[in-house]
Chain A
Amino acid sequence: GAGVSQSPSNKVTEKGKDVELRCDPISGHTALYWYRQSLGQGLEFLIYFQGNSAPDKSGLPSDRFSAERTGGSVSTLTIQRTQQEDSAVYLCASSPGAGSYEQYFGPGTRLTVT
């Protein structure tokens, strides 16, 4: 079946602009995660959605970062007023939820802020 998909695969933006990154999870998966992968910080958790529950935003690095998940499926990660330190690969993962701990990752979006 189809895996997790993310778009765009690459995004180059100017400092100060807003960007939106999209994630389509595996069909039927109730849990969705965003992670960030950067050279300096490695892989970091950003945010977690489970069903209709309030998301866990504890990993978001600043209030410039936000995410939503519509209809329990597609998710969008928004970064406002981008800074150069936001340059990284943003990875989305989904999980069946309900006691399943395996997370399946998408190919990522490489964000470059110039």
Chain B
Amino acid sequence: AQSVTQLGSHVSVSEGALVLLRCNYSSSVPPYLFWYVQYPNQGLQLLLKYTSAATLVKGINGFEAEFKKSETSFHLTKPSAHMRDAAEYFCAVIGGAGSYQLTFGKGTKLSVIP
């Protein structure tokens, strides 16, 4: 079984500041990890994915995440926040090859202060 913990249900940053959204996972097999973003009243958009290739993954909109097996973490970062980054972010895990359903964290709502 797998699970995801996102630390901080709400994070606020100033425009131009570093964005750091934390995600820790639990999986009994090598995981596949994802970050999704959800804007108000919209579906989920895939930001980036880790599927056992490079541990530093670059995604859309300037976001990146680093898979750290020793820390069971997959934190999402962006060097400089924009107002348009304000949204809810979800970390999700698939428990390795042969699995398929996403297990999601509870989400982190990002606010960007002008």
Contacts and interface: CB of A to CB of B under 8 A. Distances in A.
Interface of A: 4, 31, 33, 35, 42-43, 45, 48, 50, 56, 59, 91, 93, 95, 99, 101-108
Interface stretch (B14-22, B39-47, B60-68, B71-79): B39-47
Contact of A59 (B90, B101, B107): B101
B107 A45 contact: no
Interface string B86-114: 00001010100100111111110000000
Given A102-B46, A105-B43, A107-B42, A43 B100 contact: no
Interface string B18-43: 00000000000000101010000011
A80 B32 CA distance: 35
B46 A45 contact: no
Summarize A's interface: helix, strand, loop or mixed: strand
Contacts of B49: 101-102
Contact of B44 (A31, A91, A99, A101): A91
B43 A108 contact: yes
Contacts of B106: 42
